[in-house]
């Protein structure tokens, strides 16, 4: 079962280097929140395999629901930028090869390691997230793991998951999100 991810950004090689370079070199020239471009809502869905899937694309969300029977969750998530910006970093989406379970990382090294293992397929950039509060990110986002399932959660929801849903463990902080569409 494969979804069409045609609208996701897929920077590779020089494109990724340019995106990361732009993030680094634009530093303090302008406030990051002003340079963040169009912000899009991060949507969390549950796959039929019980994995978690993340998208910022409404058409992709509709396809996941209508073509694959996946459902949306009530997990509170916020906004990321569609384009690179000063102080922002790409969020990479990977699909676990054994089931419809997805992992999001902000680490290019982790992405490469997981893809090289053969256990994951790189699907592209989900969006660009503030690396710090100074870059405009006012909501901390964490990644949690539970037996080959990964999910994202804001700080307050992370605490609820860890306390009320057995098996989940904190994988660590991811980046941040914008609380408003801006």
| pLDDT one-digit tens code per residue, 83-93 | 999 999 999 99
Average pLDDT, the chain: 84
Highest mean pLDDT among 7-11, 19-23, 35-39, 118-122: 118-122
Alpha-carbon gap, residue 18 to 12, rounded angstroms: 10
Average pLDDT over residues 146-164: 94
| pLDDT one-digit tens code per residue, 91-138 | 999 999 999 999 999 999 999 999 999 999 999 999 999 999 999 999
| pLDDT one-digit tens code per residue, 66-83 | 999 999 999 999 999 999
* Residue 182 pLDDT class (50, 70, 90 cuts): confident
153 vs 13, higher pLDDT: 153
Average pLDDT over residues 141-163: 95
Beta bridge partners of residue 82, listed in sequence order: none
Angle among Cα 169, 181, 130 to the nearest 5 degrees reads 50
Report whether pLDDT(14) > 60: no
Average pLDDT over residues 18-31: 35
pTM for the whole structure:
0.80
Cα-Cα end-to-end distance for the chain: 35
Alpha-carbon gap, residue 80 to 74, rounded angstroms: 18
26 vs 85, higher pLDDT: 85
pLDDT at 18: 29
Angle among Cα 37, 21, 138 to the nearest 5 degrees reads 45
Alpha-carbon gap, residue 105 to 84, rounded angstroms: 16
Alpha-carbon gap, residue 178 to 12, rounded angstroms: 26
Provide the greatest CA pair distance for the chain.
45
């Amino acid at each position: 079962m494969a979804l069409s991810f045609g609208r996701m950004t897929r920077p590779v090689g020089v494109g990724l280097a340019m995106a990361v370079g732009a993030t680094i070199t634009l530093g303090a020239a302008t406030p990051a929140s002003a340079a963040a471009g169009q912000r899009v809502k991060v949507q969390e869905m549950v796959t039929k395999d019980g994995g978690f899937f993340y998208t910022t694309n409404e058409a992709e969300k509709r396809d996941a629901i209508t073509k694959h029977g996946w459902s949306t969750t009530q997990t509170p998530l916020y906004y990321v930028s569609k384009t690179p910006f000063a102080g922002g970093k790409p969020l990479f989406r990977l699909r676990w090869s054994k089931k419809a379970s997805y992992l999001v990382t902000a680490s290019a090294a982790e992405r490469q390691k997981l893809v090289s293992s053969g256990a994951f397929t790189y699907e592209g950039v989900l969006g660009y997230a503030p690396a710090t509060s100074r870059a405009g990110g006012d909501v901390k986002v964490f990644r949690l793991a539970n037996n080959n399932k990964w999910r994202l959660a804001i700080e307050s929801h992370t605490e609820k998951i860890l306390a009320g849903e057995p098996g989940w463990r904190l994988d660590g902080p991811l980046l941040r999100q914008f609380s408003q569409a801006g």
